[in-house]
Amino acid sequence: MKHVSLSGSVTGGVSCAKDPMVSHLARAEIRERRALLSLTLPGFVLVFVVLAVPLGWLFWLSAFDSNGALTLDNYLRLLRPVYLSSFLITFQMAFCVTLVCVLLGYPLAYLLSQLPERASQICMAFVLLPFWTSILVRTYAWLVLLQRQGVINNWLLDLGLIHEPLALVNNFFGTVVGMVHVMLPFMVLPLYDKMKNIDPLLMSAAANCGATPAQAFRQVFLKLSLPGLASGITLVFVICLGFYLTPALLGGGRVSMWSMKISDTIALYGNWGAASALGVALLVATVLILWGMRKLFGLNEHGRNS
Amino acid sequence: MFKLHQAVTPTQITHAHRLWLYTLVGLILLFLIIPCLIVIPMSFSASQYLEFPPRQWSLRWYEAYLGSSEWMTATWVTVKVAVMSTCIATVLGTLAAYGLSQVRGGMAKLIHSLMMLPMLVPIILVAVGVFFVYSRTGLNNTITGLVLAHSVLAIPFVLIAVGNGLDGFDMNQEMAARSLGASRPWAFLTVTLPQLRLSICSGALFAFIASFDEVVIALFIVGGESSTLPRRMFANIRDQIDPTVAAVSTLMILLSILLLVAMQYIKRLERRQQH
Amino acid sequence: MQGSIAIRDVYKGYGAFTAIDHVSLDVNPGEFLTLLGPSGSGKTTLLNVLAGFIRPESGSIKVDGVEFLTCPPHKRDIGMVFQNYALFPHMTVAENVAYPLRLRKVGGAERARRVKATLEMVQMDHLGERGIHQLSGGQRQRVALARAMVFEPKIMLMDEPLSALDKNLREHMQLELKRLHARLGMTTIYVTHDQKEALTLSHRIAVLNKGKLAQLDTPDALYERPNNRFVAGFIGESCFFSVEEGADSVTFQGRALKLPKGTALKRSQPRVLMVRPERLQWQAPSDAGAMNRIDAIARDVVYQGDSYHVGLVLSDGSELTARHQKGFREVPVPAPGSAVQLWLHAEDTLLVAEGA
């Protein structure tokens, strides 16, 4: 078999396809790929069957009403005040929680990254223990702390600072507190990771160039830590959108988050169409926010215009 | 001794400069840790109402927990489900992580994205979707259904943990084994897998706690006899029944501490293995 | 015919990048062949193709007449030493070396005997029970070698095995490798970017550049008669000068070059004059007729202990560095800025093809 050599050509000099060796090699390569990918098959199938198919089916449902006719009704329902106010509260909550997490999380991550090994590990334990503790347990603890007859109110009453118990829970405030407690590690850990990778010599170099510590921090450290901050913000915001547990227990029914609306629509009204429309809306919002965040923060990572 | 005016950084920042930061961070750390620990002393309170500090100490709520067949059944269900889903997720996740690490290209990326989905989709949607399918396939209120759902939740954790382990693993060793005469599966079993032990363990720990603590899916698909521990706790908290929940919470906090310590130990072993 | 390798027209590309560009070469049984080249030349890729970890798009590799490319890596019966040794950290030294014997179902007593014998060959038999992390770099290298040799493969592949060692140890190990090879005699393919190492160890050297085979020859042939500028520049020190090629003569600095006997005067492709700096003479010879003269201006003179490095500039701007040995008492070290004359024997002059 004569080989037709195409040496020097950009697309490569593979000899004519009739050569049995070439096709044998190509087939062996494909076989190996397939064998390796098939290792993912059991896991893939499980996730597909348990998650992807139900979700797909559910979203398919959102386009039909209870009689099986194709309709946009389920989505039009979302424009009702009760749902719109739920959307609003969900976004307000996510925004507040994210903001507080940034304000509290950044200094914490900063100090953690600057402390010597031992001290840093001890402080990190304070962040990791909540992270590993069940959300339910933590939410319960906040209920206990913030109740009318709860620990905080009792202290304040005993100290004479107030005369009547404050309404610290079963409202927006209590929910924010509970959710910040759950979300803070999610903000701190990626930030800490990024900050740890910032070369401390850079600060020395900045000082050498004439920057005060405050200037060096603002112009060097802060800028370099922004990608970590961006991923923290994205993570926290997106998780808040779909959060169920804490608002359900600490909101007292006054904080009607999106996820709770979905749950109620099924558990109380059995209305699959409405619930699935809400679900689709939640997923779409999540994806949009993720995409939007990447656009917004993507600039910061590579561009120099900030 | 702690000197306020000792420089802490090469740029001559002192402890005194950072005092405000120390105070702020100290408060934040207290904020983080107090809720985790406050329930513990309260669970020993003798009274019907939770009080801090307890006026009288007693083990009555622990007795209530351990003595109640409903609570014990729920605990047993939770442990069974957690162990089974951990096993399934760990095996499937490890195999998938290995396969994905050896193949490049669009197909691999697609599979990887899909298998990470359970972590990205809001849990309420997962719960609703699963509930929907289970009600049509009769898997609601079954251990099987719960195990399948929890396994799916746990797979992303294993993928990440084992994926990281594989990133740090020197593939030359597997190639060396193959050049010496081992087939690929055998090389994986005798050379790669033993060295991935730590990553697999940390993935398994994440998987276990993810299943053990899981509430939302359980809320939808189980109840009554096949209730899990967190599901029972949720009902108790919402309906304000009695402080047994405090005792259960304390035990769960102890479990968390145990797992956290195990995780740190694994990390230390991993660091030693690097050298 | 034990261990002969016939590589024919092997091609491997990654998208638009060609790693191995239709390379063909023959390896004789028992030969020590080095694949030499800069990074990106394809030498490591070719080695991995031989080992079976990279599948080429086309070509054929026959070992003793049997096609290798259809054989999976674990059936090829080759010994491979990796650059970072790739020793199994969860096994002891002895267990590492025993691993291939276990795979071949060699029984306990026989296995132990062969492991001991191989470890003795690399002077590691007293460290059999050690863990890998307790060994130094040189010791790990020997264990890697032992593990690849213990099952007596027909072919050995080595991927820059000495590059992680410090200079003294490296030179010591080079001699040990040479001795081992002389003793065991298996076909060895060795990859390196260090030309001195290649010259020390090899029977023949295959110089690779950008995926193509530039020249395959014995070390002295490569040094004395490089085919082209790339090989000339890669092996040993050299300087290159442009020459004018006329119909039947070659001129340099206005004078006809006295070339070695048999040099083609008619050019088929562009050529440059290659000069090995150590062949330059400072003293005008008695029979100046057989010598070429090079006129230059000394630019800088740097003391190096055993000699001076003299940087020279020629009239057309090209540069040359020559060594002035301390032994040359008759000719003083030139002062910077002074005119210098250097002499080159006709037999030391070489015209090499431009390009690779």
ipTM value: 0.88
Residue type, C118: T
What angle, 0 to 180 degrees and rounded to 10, lies between the N-to-C axes of helices B244-274 and B197-212? Answer: 170
Tens of pLDDT, residues A206-229:
888 888 888 888 888 998 998 889
pLDDT tens digit string along C125-138?
899 899 999 999 89
Q: CA A67 to CA A104: how far, in whole Å?
A: 51
Band the pLDDT of A305: cuts 50, 70, 90: very low
Q: Do A21 and C58 touch (CB under 8 A)?
A: yes
Which CA distances in Å does C79 have to A262, B185, C26?
A: 63, 20, 19
Does pLDDT of B247 surpass 80? yes
- pLDDT surpassing 70 at residue B104: yes
pLDDT band at C254 (very low <50, low <70, confident <90, very high): confident
**What does the DSSP 8-state code read for residue B72?**
H
* Chain B residues 95-134 with CB within 8 Å of chain A: 95-96, 98-100, 102-103, 105, 107-108, 111, 114-115, 117-118, 120-126, 128-133
Helix B197-212, helix B143-167: angle, nearest 10: 150
Residue C33 has a pLDDT of 96
Answer whether residue C60 shows pLDDT above 70.
yes
> Looking at residues C334-354, what average pLDDT do you find?
84
**Region B195-210: what's the mean pLDDT?**
94
Residue A175 phi, psi (nearest 5): -65, -40
Q: Do C60 and C13 form a contact (C-beta atoms < 8 A)?
A: no
Give C310-322 pLDDT, tens digit per residue: 888 888 888 888 8
What's residue B265's pLDDT?
Answer: 92
Among A residues 42-101, those touching chain B with beta carbons less than 8 Å apart: 42-44, 46-48, 50-55, 57-58, 61
With contact defined as 3+ CB pairs under 8 Å, the chains touching C are: A, B
pLDDT tier at B188 (50, 70, 90 boundaries)? very high
Select the residue of A3, A5, A25 nearest C56 (Cβ to Cβ): A25
Confidence of residue C327 (pLDDT cuts 50, 70, 90): low
**What pLDDT, on a 0 to 100 scale, did the predictor assign at position C126?**
92
Neighbour tally for B19: CB within 10 Å: 11
Contact partners of A by the rule of 3+ C-beta pairs under 8 A?
Answer: B, C
Q: pTM of this prediction?
A: 0.84
User: Would you say residue A303 has pLDDT above 70?
Assistant: no
Q: Helix or strand or coil: residue A18?
A: coil
* Mean pLDDT, range A99-119, rounded to an integer: 94
Q: What is the helix (H) or strand (E) element at residue C78, kind and residue range? A: strand C78-81
> What does the buried/exposed string (b/e) look like for A81-92 if buried means 16 or more CB atoms within 10 Å of the residue's CB?
eebeebbebbbe
Length of chain A: 306
Residue of A1, A3, A6, A16 to mutate, testing the C interface (most C Cβ within 10 Å of its Cβ): A3
C65-70: long-range contacts, CB 8 A cutoff, minimum separation 24? C65/C1, C69/A21, C69/A24, C69/A25, C70/A24, C70/A28
Name the token pair of B163: 């994926």
Mean pLDDT of chain B: 89
∠ CA B220-B222-B227, nearest 5°, is 130
Mean pLDDT score across all residues of chain C: 88
SS3 per residue for A241-293: HCCCHHHHHHCCCCCCCHHHHHHHHHHCCCCHHHHHHHHHHHHHHHHHHHHHH
* Residues C175-228 pLDDT 10s: 999 999 999 889 999 999 999 999 999 999 999 999 999 999 999 999 988 888
Task: Return the pLDDT at C336.
Answer: 87
Contact A130, B32 (CB under 8 A): yes
Of the ranges A56-70, B244-258, C7-21, C141-155, which one carries the lowest mean pLDDT score?
A56-70
Q: C59 and chain A: CB distance < 8 Å anywhere?
A: yes
Contacts of A10 in chain C (CB under 8 A): 16
Amino acid at B122: P
User: Would you call A136 and B39 a contact, using CB atoms and an 8 Å cutoff?
Assistant: no
Nearest CA in chain C to B179: C74
Q: How many CB atoms lie within 10 A of CB A232?
A: 28
User: How far is residue C37 from each of residues C197, C214, C265, C351, measured CA to CA in Å?
Assistant: 12, 9, 30, 22
Q: Which two tokens stand for residue B220?
A: 């939808």
* C115 at interface of B, judged by CB pairs closer than 8 A: no
Query: Within a 10 A sphere around the Cβ of C302, how many other Cβ atoms?
Result: 10
Q: Which residues of A touch B242 (CB under 8 A)?
A: none
Nearest one of B30, B58, B213, B47 to B123, comparing CA atoms: B213
Residue A266 pLDDT exceeds 90? no
Quick one: average pLDDT of C268-288?
80
Tell me the angle at which helices B19-42 and A172-196 cross, rounded to the nearest 10 degrees.
120
DSSP code of C335?
P
| Token reading at A34 | 């397939």
A244·B13 Cβ contact <8 A: no
- Give Cα separations from C199 to A117, B1, C25, C247, C317 (angstroms): 50, 63, 19, 37, 33
pLDDT of residue A179 exceeding 80: yes
Reported confidence tier of residue C356, pLDDT bands at 50, 70, 90 = low
Q: Cα-flanking dihedrals φ and ψ of residue C191, to 5°? A: -105, 135
Q: Among candidates B211, B249, B199, B266, which has minimal Cα distance to B83?
A: B211
Asked if pLDDT for residue B42 goes beyond 80, the answer is yes
Between CA A120 and CA B262 the distance in angstroms is 19
> In which band, very low, low, confident or very high, does the pLDDT at C328 lie, cut at 50, 70 and 90?
low
What pLDDT, on the 0 to 100 scale, is given for residue B22? Answer: 92
